[in-house]
Amino acid sequence: MTRLIDFQHADEALRWRAINDAVMGGISRGHMHVEDGIGVFSGEISLENDGGFASVRREPETFDLSGQAGLALHVRGDGRRYQLRLRTDRLFDGGAYRALFQPPAGEWQRINLPWHEFEAVFRGRRLEDAPPLDPEAIQQLGLLIADRQPGRFRLEVAWLETMDDESTQ
């Protein structure tokens, strides 16, 4: 296992930027900041103006994750459903691979996301003819919430690391 993202590093929060539904007229808001060495993706979802999502993306970085079984996150959630999103050069601009996860409220939990759980999407719709995720081609990681539930959200992330075959069991 290799630790890819660790919010104990002081500059990690600076590597993330918010992309919220304002890009299409919505008023949801979300951002990433660090509290005591923990990354916090938080904000508020609004369904007004056909909105309903908030997201953060880490600055692009080439990850060659061939030979890995997937990704694992150590998170504490609020009971809401989130997405880990991966971008590659294999999809057109705006397309991403997503895996859904819903940690229980208030409990730290390791979430294992094997590669086969990632599906290609564009604006929330599944891309049926897209190639499968290629772990060698991952260029960007992000988090998104789009559960169609208005209100505040908070997802705490301690770290993100690779899964080896043993950690999938």
Residue keyed to tokens 């690391």: 161
Residue keyed to tokens 């960007």: 140
Say what the pLDDT of residue 15 is: 96
Say what the pLDDT of residue 166 is: 54
Summarised one tens digit per residue, pLDDT across range 64-122 is: 899 999 999 999 999 999 999 999 988 877 799 999 999 999 999 999 999 999 999 99
d(CA 32, CA 157): 10
For the chain, the C-alpha Rg in angstroms (whole number) is: 15
The CATH number of whichever domain residue 13 belongs to comes to 2.60.120.430
The pTM assigned to this predicted structure is: 0.93
Q: Which strand (E) or helix (H) includes residue 98?
A: strand 95-101
d(CA 161, CA 149): 29
Summarised one tens digit per residue, pLDDT across range 22-38 is: 988 999 999 999 999 99
Q: Can you give the residue range of the structural domain that contains 135?
A: 3-168
| Domain count across the chain | 1
